[in-house]
C-alpha cells in the first residue's frame, strides 16, 4: 500500500515513474541489463541522457542558447561553484536574502573568496514575503531562490533586473513555465520535484558557459567541462539521470508545465482555503508570496503541532513536520502530489481542527 507522502525532499515520485523503473530494473528496454549496469558511454545511456536534455528544453521552451547539464553534489555543491564560475573580476555578485538557502549560497561564495553580498532581504519580517529588489543593480549576477522550501514563500514573477539572473529552483523545478529572457542559470537538486537525490540539473545560457570557460579552475569544478563533455566527463549518477528522464516524460504526458502549474494552483488552493477559513491554523507567509509547493502553517501551539503530525503519520499521512529552523507544520505539494493526497490532507486538517479546537 502507498502512503500519502508530503515530505519536502526527497519526496514522492509519480507512481507511473516508480512502476516503469520497477519494470525495467532487471531489463532496461528488454535488453537483459539494468540501466545501472551498463557503461555511461554506451549508446543506451547516451540516448537516454540526450532525450532527457531535449525534454527539458521542450518543457521550458528553450532554444539552443541554453545547455542542460547534470552534476553530482546536489544543489549545495553549486553554491560555491556558481560563484567560482560566474563571478566577473570587476563586478560583485548580488544575492537576495529569503532565508536559509540563499544564506548558505552567499556564505559558500564568500568561502570561495568571491566578492558577494545581499542586496535585498525580508529578514526583518521573519521572511514572511519576497523582498523588493532594486532593478538597477549592476552585478556579475543576481542570485535568487525561486521557492523557499523552509518558509513557504515563492516568487510569483521573476524579478526584473539589469543583472543576469541565477536561480536556485530546487523546490519549484519544472512546476511552471518561466520567462527565460533574463535567466542565465536555472538550477536545482532534482529530488523534490523532478526525480531522486544524486544530481543537480543546470540550465545554462551560452554567455555564462563562456564565463566558466575563461576561469582557471580544476576541471571538475568548471561548468564548461560538463557542457563540453555532455555531462559525461566522469561517471555520472546514471540511475538518478534515468529517473529524471522518466519524470520528464511523465511531465510531458501530464500536458507540460502550464498544465502542471494549473493543477498545482488548484491543489494549493484547496489547502490554503481551509487554513484561511480557520481560526485554528495560521500561515505566516504573506498571501501574495505564498508557495504553491510548500505550505507552511501552525496550529495554536507546539504540543498541537506535534500531535498533528504524529497522529497524521498513524493515519497514513507522512512528512508533515515543519523544518527544524521554523518548527510548525509543512505540507509539500510537489508535481506528483495528486488530488487523492490533497483530499486526504484536506479531510485530516478539518477533522483535526474539530477534535482539538
Ligand atoms: C531551495 C533549496 N536549495 C538548495 C537545497 C539543498 O539541496 P541539496 O540537498 O541537493 O544540496 C535545498 C534542500 O532542501 C533547497 O530546498
Cα(357)–Cα(350) distance, integer angstroms: 10
Show the domains of the chain with their CATH numbers: 15-254 (3.40.640.10), 256-356 (3.90.1150.10)
Does 7 sit in the ligand 1 pocket, CB within 6 Å?
A: no
- Residue 250 annotated as part of some ligand binding site: no
Average pLDDT score over residue span 154-160:
96
CA nearest neighbour of 175 among 68, 82, 261: 261
Question: What DSSP line would sit under 329-349, residue for residue?
Answer: EEEE--TT--HHHHHHHHHHH
Average pLDDT over residues 263-291: 97
Q: What is the mean pLDDT of residues 153-161?
A: 96
Instruction: Decide: 80 in ligand 1 pocket, CB within 6 A.
Output: no
Phi/psi of residue 76, each to 5°?
Answer: -60, -35
Question: Is any atom of ligand 1 closer than 6 Å to the C-beta of 195?
Answer: no
Residue-wise pLDDT for 25-74, tens only, equals 999 999 999 999 999 999 999 999 999 999 999 999 999 999 999 999 99
**Which residue's alpha carbon is nearest to atom 1 within ligand 1?**
170
Hey, which residues does 297 pair with through a beta bridge?
A: 329
Per-residue pLDDT reduced to its tens digit, 285-340: 999 999 999 999 999 999 999 999 999 999 999 999 999 999 999 999 999 999 99
pLDDT at 1: 79
Q: Please give the angle made by the CA atoms of 130, 132 and 133, to the nearest 5 degrees.
A: 115
User: Which helix (H) or strand (E) segment is 200 a member of?
Assistant: strand 200-205
Structure confidence by residue, pLDDT tens digits, 171-230: 999 999 999 999 999 999 999 999 999 999 999 999 999 999 999 999 999 999 999 999
Reading the block at residue 347, the C-alpha cell is: 479531510
Catalytic residues: 101, 168, 192
Name the percent of the chain lying above pLDDT 70.
100
Q: Report the mean per-residue pLDDT for the chain.
A: 97
- The distance between the two most distant Cα atoms of the chain, rounded to a whole number of Å, is 63
205 within 8 A of 65, measured Cβ to Cβ: yes
Residues 216-240: pLDDT tens digits?
Answer: 999 999 999 999 999 999 999 999 9
Ligand 1 contact, 245 CB (< 6 A) = no
Distances in Å between the Cα of 36 and the Cα atoms of 26, 42, 140, 240, 241 are: 10, 12, 39, 10, 10
Closest residue by CA, ligand 1 atom 16: 149
Residue 76 assigned to a binding site = yes
Amino acid at each position: 500500500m502507498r502512503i500519502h507522502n508530503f515530505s519536502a525532499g526527497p519526496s514522492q515520485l509519480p507512481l507511473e515513474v516508480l512502476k516503469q523503473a520497477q519494470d525495467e530494473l532487471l531489463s532496461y528496454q528488454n535488453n537483459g541489463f539494468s540501466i545501472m549496469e551498463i557503461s555511461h558511454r554506451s549508446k543506451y545511456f547516451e540516448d537516454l541522457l540526450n532525450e532527457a536534455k531535449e525534454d527539458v528544453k521542450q518543457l521550458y521552451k528553450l532554444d539552443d542558447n541554453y545547455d542542460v547539464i547534470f552534476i553530482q553534489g546536489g544543489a549545495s555543491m553549486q553554491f560555491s561553484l556558481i560563484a567560482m564560475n560566474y563571478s566577473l573580476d570587476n563586478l560583485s555578485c548580488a544575492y537576495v536574502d529569503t532565508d536559509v538557502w540563499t544564506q548558505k549560497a552567499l556564505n559558500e561564495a564568500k568561502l570561495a573568496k568571491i566578492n558577494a553580498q545581499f542586496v535585498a532581504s525580508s529578514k526583518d519580517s521573519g521572511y514572511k514575503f519576497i523582498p523588493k529588489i532594486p532593478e538597477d543593480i549592476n552585478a556579475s549576477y543576481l542570485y535568487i531562490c525561486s521557492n523557499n522550501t523552509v518558509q513557504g514563500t515563492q516568487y510569483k514573477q521573476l524579478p526584473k533586473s539589469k543583472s543576469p539572473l541565477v536561480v536556485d529552483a530546487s523546490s519549484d523545478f519544472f512546476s511552471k513555465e518561466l520567462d527565460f529572457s533574463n535567466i542565465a542559470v536555472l538550477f536545482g537538486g532534482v529530488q523534490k520535484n523532478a526525480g531522486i537525490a544524486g544530481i543537480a540539473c543546470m540550465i545554462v545560457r551560452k554567455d555564462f558557459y563562456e564565463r566558466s570557460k575563461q576561469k582557471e579552475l580544476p576541471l571538475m569544478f568548471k561548468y564548461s567541462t560538463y557542457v563540453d563533455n555532455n555531462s559525461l566527463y566522469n561517471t555520472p549518477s546514471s540511475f538518478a539521470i534515468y529517473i529524471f528522464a522518466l519524470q520528464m516524460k511523465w511531465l510531458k504526458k501530464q500536458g507540460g508545465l502550464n498544465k502542471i502549474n494549473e493543477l498545482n494552483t488548484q491543489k494549493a488552493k484547496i489547502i490554503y482555503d481551509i487554513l484561511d477559513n480557520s481560526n485554528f491554523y495560521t500561515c505566516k507567509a504573506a498571501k501574495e508570496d505564498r508557495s504553491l509547493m510548500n505550505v507552511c502553517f501552525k496550529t495554536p501551539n507546539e504540543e498541537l503541532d506535534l500531535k498533528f503530525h504524529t497522529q497524521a503519520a498513524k493515519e497514513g499521512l507522512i512528512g508533515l513536520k515543519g523544518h527544524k529552523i521554523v518548527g510548525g507544520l509543512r505540507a509539500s505539494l510537489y508535481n506528483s502530489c495528486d488530488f487523492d493526497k490533497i483530499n486526504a490532507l484536506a479531510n485530516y486538517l478539518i477533522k483535526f481542527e474539530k477534535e482539538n479546537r
